[in-house]
Structure 1
Amino acid sequence: MSKVPRSFRLLEELEKGEKGFGPESCSYGLADSDDITMTKWNGTILGPPHSNHENRIYSLEIVCGDRYPDEPPLVKFISKVNLPCVDQTTGVVSAEKFHTLRDWKRSYTMQTVLLDLRKEMGTPANKKLSQPSEGSVF
């Protein structure tokens, strides 16, 4: 089976993100529409209901390096969030502490990452964690 080239894969993800084919709980798109390398992306996650994240919108930066999708993207929260897998100084999601990045598969997408982060927010261990004031950023 042949591998889809990086640029084709990212074009697929861009189309899906722009047309809103994914779930309403997260979204993503290019940070700069003129970026022909499709490296830097913006993402948003709506906090899961029945948690301390409810009614919050989290902004993220996603960087798809030259080896994406063979290697996971770099994911960084812009909005402050208190989660064990997020560095509390930089907002970077730890590849060691976040299972989706640690156990990365080529079939995963940026949407997979955003949805799994949202699920992480809603787990029993994390949904009641106190959160920084709304609107604060890293």
Structure 2
Amino acid sequence: MLGMQIRLRAVRLPDLPVFFEHQCDAEAADMAGFVPRARSAFDEHWCKIMSGPMFIVRTIEADGKVAGYVSAFPRDDRSEIAYWLGREYWGKGIGKAAVEAFLKLHLERPLFGAVSIKNLGSLAILRRCGFEFYAEETGADGFQEHILRLS
């Protein structure tokens, strides 16, 4: 991340094609324990996110380019953080910087994070941001996840 400027901003419609391409990356989807959505399902999902008062979502910009997003949303009886970065932004400290910035905006605690057991990078980001191991679960989609909690 040396010298790279990271900022969070409101999501704009032109960001969505970038997010769609990110979620279509087979390696990233497998690591995240995520089944990519078809374009119509993706658009429906993002319409719900962008219009839902319970969703807080921000675009992550790295040097002015859309690198991904970070969000908080209700899941079952808890508030959960989620984020996604395009593969070209992995391993540069952008995820950690974005999560840290988001946690300053979204103060609701406790906040949970569900991370596929395959996703060691994301697990490390949340741990570095103060999240602690809470449980291990198998999601409705059959993927095993570490659940972390920030108090």
TM-score range, shorter chain: 0.3 to 0.5
Q: Please give the TM-score of this superposition, normalised by the length of structure 2.
A: 0.33
Task: Indicate the structure with greater strand content.
Answer: 2
Task: Indicate the structure with greater helix content.
Answer: 2
Q: Please give the TM-score of this superposition, normalised by the length of structure 1.
A: 0.36
